[in-house]
């Protein structure tokens, strides 16, 4: 048996304490739902396609009439009508009769086949075919894509052009989607200054809040910068509790290095429950996670590449969980900047 890696074990332990679909839901029209996460299964209210239809141009014939046809003994049919896309009815061809059809045309139910234009020889209202055709040849049967009552799009799906087009084809106009997870982002350290401020010896510009805000947005969340926090335990705790009261989760960068890790670990303990206090993997010591009143807290390194890596491994997975997205946990190889 393959032993689970320390990373996968830590991810699973953390994600399992994050409440599933805790962000709540809202209603969106299809036009406004692109990129949102479907909150409940979308059930097909009708078959798709809603009727049998031609998928090529040609001639609708009884498949049985073509049996035995060959080059030396072709079978002839009389063309008795034509059906175009949008026509509401299709005449039923009798023995020796054919209906000209176009791609997308409604066709009648039965053991019929479509002879493509280039497979038939036509002379005015007569065609001949020189081989047999099986039933349903080049015909899409009613409901062959989706049956009425089936799940058309599963909950947890991130809605994109294909899913939205599918729902529109089923006559859907509005869907319930998960509200976006809001993420309070803190940068931590006495040496950290706003990225717009002039540098001075010993200072570090706060690039992490900008970088992590973009990463949160790309993960489907809404970033809310909560400020640069100094090494003031009580002040930080008050700000963290306030942020968690109005957001879905908190993301802290910095202050988790070996010399300062107890500060962040104790901070999470004071706010709620410490779940992960470092991961036994390369550069995994600064990764610290917790939960407070059902709200995840993700603390990552201050070094930008490691901060982004930590967010992708744990923060993005927490956002997925909050919004009800059932996706595989990310691998370490996928987390590189």
HEC secondary structure over 90-113: CCCCCCCEEEEECCCCECCCCCEE
Range of the domain at 156: 28-48+144-177
Task: Convert 182-198 to b/e letters by CB count within 10 Å (16 or more is b).
Answer: bbbbbbbbeebbeeeee
Give the pLDDT confidence score for residue 285 in this predicted structure: 72
**% residues pLDDT > 70 (the chain):** 95
Q: Which two tokens stand for residue 160?
A: 């994109």
Nearest-Å Rg of the Cα atoms of the chain is 31
Q: Are 255 and 301 in contact (CB under 8 A)?
A: no
Give yes or no for residue 332 having a pLDDT over 90.
Answer: no
For 55-100, what is each residue's pLDDT tens digit? Answer: 999 999 999 999 999 999 999 999 999 999 999 999 999 999 999 9
Domain count, the chain: 3
Give the pLDDT confidence score for residue 281 in this predicted structure: 77
Q: Are 235 and 247 in contact (CB under 8 A)?
A: no
Give the pLDDT confidence score for residue 284 in this predicted structure: 63
Same domain, 173 and 184: no
For 270-278, what is the mean pLDDT?
A: 95
Q: Are 108 and 51 in contact (CB under 8 A)?
A: no
The pair phi, psi for residue 133, each rounded to 5°, is -130, 135
Asked whether residue 258 is assigned to any structural domain, the reply reads yes
Virtual torsion, Cα 134, 138, 141, 145, nearest 10 deg: 130
Give the pLDDT confidence score for residue 230 in this predicted structure: 86
Give yes or no for residue 130 having a pLDDT over 70.
Answer: yes
Q: Give the residue from 140, 167, 196 where a domain finishes.
A: 140
CA dist 10 and 41 (Å) reads 30
Same domain, 329 and 223: yes
Same domain, 200 and 113: no
Q: Which whole-number Å values give the CA distances from 43 to 140, 142, 147, 159, 181, in the listed order?
A: 21, 17, 10, 15, 25
Same domain, 114 and 158: no
Q: What angle do CA 226, 209, 248 make, to 5 degrees?
A: 50
Virtual torsion, Cα 304, 309, 314, 319, nearest 10 deg: 80
Give the pLDDT confidence score for residue 61 in this predicted structure: 98
For 128-148, what is the mean pLDDT?
A: 96
Asked whether residue 71 is assigned to any structural domain, the reply reads yes
Same domain, 37 and 11: no
Burial of 140 (0-12, 13-18, 19+ CB in 10 A): middle
Asked whether residue 149 is assigned to any structural domain, the reply reads yes
Same domain, 194 and 61: no
Same domain, 32 and 20: no
Alpha helices for 133-272 (secondary structure H): 161-169, 208-218, 233-246, 261-271
Q: What is the CATH number of the domain that holds 16?
A: 3.40.980.10
Give the pLDDT confidence score for residue 330 in this predicted structure: 86
Q: Are 53 and 140 in contact (CB under 8 A)?
A: yes
Average pLDDT, rounded, for the chain: 93
Q: What angle do CA 308, 8, 187 make, to 5 degrees?
A: 25
Q: What is the CATH number of the domain that holds 172?
A: 3.90.105.10
Give yes or no for residue 261 having a pLDDT over 70.
Answer: no
Give the pLDDT confidence score for residue 258 in this predicted structure: 46
Q: Which two tokens stand for residue 148?
A: 């009425």
Please indicate, yes or no, whether the overall pTM of this predicted structure exceeds 0.85.
Answer: no
Same domain, 316 and 189: yes
HSE-up (13 A, CA, CB side) for residue 205 = 8
Give the bridge partners for 9, in sequence order: none
For 152-160, what is the mean pLDDT?
A: 96
For 166-209, what is each residue's pLDDT tens digit? Answer: 999 999 999 999 999 999 999 998 899 999 999 999 999 999 99
Give the pLDDT confidence score for residue 335 in this predicted structure: 55
HSE-up (13 A, CA, CB side) for residue 298 = 29
Asked whether residue 1 is assigned to any structural domain, the reply reads no
For 285-331, what is each residue's pLDDT tens digit? Answer: 789 999 999 999 999 999 999 999 999 999 999 999 999 998 898 88
């Amino acid at each position: 048996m393959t032993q689970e890696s320390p990373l996968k074990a830590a991810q699973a332990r953390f994600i399992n304490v994050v409440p599933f679909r805790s962000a709540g839901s809202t209603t969106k029209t299809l036009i406004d739902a692109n990129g949102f996460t479907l909150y409940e299964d979308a059930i097909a209210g009708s078959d798709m396609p809603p009727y049998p239809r031609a998928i090529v141009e040609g001639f609708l014939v009884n498949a049985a009439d073509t049996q035995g046809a060959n080059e030396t003994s072709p079978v002839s049919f009389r063309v008795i009508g034509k059906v175009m896309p949008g026509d509401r009815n299709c005449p039923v061809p009798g023995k020796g009769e054919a209906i000209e059809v176009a791609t997308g045309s409604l066709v009648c139910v039965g053991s019929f086949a479509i002879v493509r234009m280039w497979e038939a020889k036509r002379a005015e209202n007569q065609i001949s075919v020189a081989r047999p055709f099986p039933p349903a040849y080049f015909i899409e049967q009613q409901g062959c894509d989706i049956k009425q009552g089936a799940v058309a799009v599963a909950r947890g799906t991130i809605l994109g052009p294909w899913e939205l087009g599918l729902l529109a084809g089923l006559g859907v106009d509005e869907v319930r989607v998960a509200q976006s997870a809001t993420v309070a982002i803190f940068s931590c350290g006495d040496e950290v200054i706003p990225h717009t401020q002039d540098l001075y010896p010993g200072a570090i510009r706060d690039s992490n809040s900008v970088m992590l805000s973009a990463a949160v947005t790309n993960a489907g969340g809404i970033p809310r910068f909560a400020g640069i926090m100094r090494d003031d335990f009580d002040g930080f705790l008050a700000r963290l509790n306030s942020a968690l009261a109005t957001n879905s989760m908190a993301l802290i960068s910095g202050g988790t290095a070996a010399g300062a890790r107890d500060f962040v670990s104790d901070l999470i303990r004071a706010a709620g429950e410490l779940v992960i206090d470092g991961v036994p993997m390369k550069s995994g010591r600064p990764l610290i996670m917790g939960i407070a009143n059902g709200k995840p807290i993700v603390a990552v390194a201050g070094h930008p590449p490691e901060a982004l890596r930590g967010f992708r491994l744990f923060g993005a997975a927490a956002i997925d969980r909050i919004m009800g997205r059932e996706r595989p946990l990310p691998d370490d190889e996928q987390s590189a900047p």
